[in-house]
Amino acid sequence: MSLKERITEDMKAAMRAKEGDRLTTIRMLLAAVKQKEVDERIEVDDVALVAIVDKLIKQRKDSISQFTTAGRMDLAGKETAELKVLEAYLPQRLSAEEITAAVTTIVANLGAKGPADMGKVMGAVKAELAGKADMGLVSAAVKAALAP
């Protein structure tokens, strides 16, 4: 079963169980998928779907920090609930140690030296770790690996 089919089945289950908040979040995710399919005239596969989920999770995290700063705990709670639903659709993430090991290997393979090679390394790392790791952690690992 593809990830898109699983999300659709989860939407049906949320409808049957009358889980309104979960249903709203899943519908929002499916709307984002449909928007990408229509805009780019493609059929979204699991890799692209994980990228969409990642983007939505990043938006939720940004919203949570802004709502918390503004003292709007009600809205922060709503965003946190959406975040938990979305995280269920991500594959198992790599640990910080695994990210560091992968980045070190890629830097060695590319022969990168110094911060000037960051773009080249990030391109290779994104291709290999997309959907498997938090890109914020990946960026920090690349900076650490390229530090003089």
Which residue segment(s) compose the domain that 104 sits in?
96-146
10 and 68 inside one domain: yes
Residues 77 and 118 in one domain: no
Assess contact for 114 and 148: CB atoms under 8 A.
yes
The number of distinct structural domains making up the chain is 2
Shared-domain flag, residues 15 and 77: yes
Residues 43, 80 within the same domain = yes
State whether 14 and 70 are in the same domain. yes
pLDDT value of position 38: 96
Query: Domain check: are 79 and 108 in the same one?
Result: no
Helix spans in the chain (H): 3-16, 20-40, 46-69, 73-87, 96-110, 118-129, 135-146
Q: If we measure between CA atoms, which residue out of 29, 4, 28, 26 comes closest to residue 13?
A: 26
Q: What is the pLDDT of residue 115?
A: 83
pTM, whole model, 2 decimals?
Answer: 0.78
The contacts of residue 67 (CB under 8 Å, 6+ apart) are 73, 75, 76, 79
End-to-end CA distance of the chain: 46
pLDDT tens track for 50-71: 889 989 999 999 999 999 999 9
What distance in Å separates the CA atoms of residue 21 and residue 41, rounded to the nearest whole number? 30
- Nearest CA to 51 among 121, 124, 122, 130? 130
